[in-house]
Structure 1
Amino acid sequence: MTDTDGSAETPQIPERILVAAARVMEREGFANASLRQIAEEAGMTKAGLYYHVASKEVLLYALHERFAHKLRDSALRIVESDSTPTQKLRELIIETVQTAGIYQSEGTVFLREYGHLSGEMAVTIGKGRNQFRTDFEQVIKAGMATGEFRSGDAHLDALAILGACNFTAFWFDPEGPLKIEKIAESFADRLLYGMTSPTTDKGV
């Protein structure tokens, strides 16, 4: 099914099934995960699972939407705000890192397995990913225009920042010494201002 704009429609799947699917696919990988395993993880029968979802691919798509929905809403709010480009980029970085930590299983599964999507779902995912990257590029270009950021390739900068932020889903330890909020703040500072101390000679 598609929405009125031609994109794939987001399936309405109960929370416990999405959580179970994320855990099983994160542990087993998309190819090895079975609907029976997901049903067992969710505490239901395979027939009960089929009542809500027709395939693993639909579940993978729904996990992406769970991961991406908050990012899309936050990015739109940030980009359309009256903040400076520096403030906007900082907020975008913080939101992305925090989302990768909060929706860790979903983020890990999607970033590792999204190539298994096909048809309208793959097209919709591609459009969403491109738009989110474009939001970063737009802010970076604005910062270059005002002189807040060094001139350069905004597309490359956006890819570098997004790669660093999204990869948090793979290594973040919720039981570790640092909370995701602290990590997000640290990422924002390092990615915006670099590693070099203001008093350090920048010569090579």
Structure 2
Amino acid sequence: MTDSDITGEKPQIPERILVAAARVMEREGFANASLRQIAEEAGMTKAGLYYHVASKETLLYALHERFAIKLRDSAQRISESDAAPTDKLRALIVETVQTAGVYQSEGTVFLREYAHLTGEMAVTVGKGRDQFRTDFETVIKEGMDSGEFRSGDAHLDALAILGACNFTAFWFDPEGAMKIEQIADAFADRLLYGMRTPGNDKGEKA
């Protein structure tokens, strides 16, 4: 099933429309944002916008897919690799935090407004989010089984780590003292420190 099967739209929504939608929804909120405002932000007519999208909900879904496809593919590749669990979890954390920084507006809008999705779009997004969390859980469980990570509830650990990583979108300052890559490394160091069994220094950076 493709995005166009779900949304009823053409497969590709122009970049300027997605950027404009993210800006307007971040500023106004989903409920208050209008297609007219988004069209004006994109420098086009409302009729021109309707050629590409039929609703705000379609745009909200597209904003999610803009970063989620990349994350899902990376998470699956990492979780299925032959690397050690500690290395896998570090890679998952770094990828998630960096994506939250690169797609900051899209992430902020989606995390704040995803409840507005309905029907097949809501179902598809929900399944994707469940699979992404499961990839984290799988890696954490592997680490527990191998003795690299403390024993515990892999589901709860995955939720805690994902909450910390995803929330980066809300507070990251692109003009701040730390680049998103530095923040991602710092998160990985701190979160892995809490996961590792005592005396286990795997995943420590030189």
TM-score by length of 1: 0.91
Aligned-residue RMSD, C-alpha: 1.7
CA deviation after TM superposition for structure 1 residue 12, in Å: 1.8
* 2:202 matched residue in structure 1: none
Deviations 1:164-192 (A, max 9, x none): 00000000000001000000000000000
Q: Which amino acid aligns with 1:165?
A: C
SS at match of 2:131: helix
Is 1:8 aligned with 2:11?
A: no
1:45-64 mapped onto 2 (5 Å cutoff):
45-64=45-64
CA distance in 2, matches of 1:153, 1:176: 35
Q: CA deviation at 1:67?
A: 1.8
> What residue in structure 1 maps to residue 69 of structure 2?
69
d(CA) in 1 for partners of 2:36 and 2:63?
18
Q: Match of 1:194, SS?
A: helix
Which residue is equivalent to 1:202? none
Which residue number in structure 2 is paired with residue 116 of structure 1?
116
Query: How far apart are the structure 1 equivalents of 2:81 and 2:194?
Result: 25
Letter in 2 for 1:150: R
Shift of 1:148: 0.3
SS in 2 for 1:8: helix
Letter in 2 for 1:107: G
Letter in 1 for 2:6: A
Q: How far apart are residue 8 of structure 1 and its match? A: 2.7
1: CA distance, partners of 2:75 / 2:140: 13
Give the Å deviation of 1:133: 0.3
Q: How many residues align?
A: 193
Matched residue type, 1:170: F
Matches within 5 A, 1:47-196: 47-194=47-194
Alignment-mate amino acid for residue 137 of structure 2: E
How far is the alpha carbon of 1:73 from its aligned partner?
1.2
Q: CA separation in 1, counterparts of 2:75 and 2:15? A: 24
Counterpart code for 1:121 = M
Give the letter for the 2:136 counterpart. Answer: F
> 1:7-44, CA deviations, whole angstroms, 9 ceiling, x for partnerless residues?
83584200000000000000110000000000011000
The aligned counterpart of 2:204 is none
Aligned amino acid, residue 174 of structure 2 = P
Residues 76-120 of structure 1 show CA distances to partners (whole Å, capped at 9, x for unaligned) of 111111100000000000000000000000000000000000000
State the alpha-carbon separation in 1 of the partners of residues 69 and 14 from structure 2.
16
Give deviations 1:124-182, integer Å, cap 9, x for gaps: 00000000000000000000000000000000000000000000000000000100000
CA distance in 1, matches of 2:194, 2:55: 44
Gaps of 5+ in 2: 200-206
Q: Deviating runs (4+, > 6 A) in structure 1?
A: none
Q: TM-score, normalised by structure 2?
A: 0.90
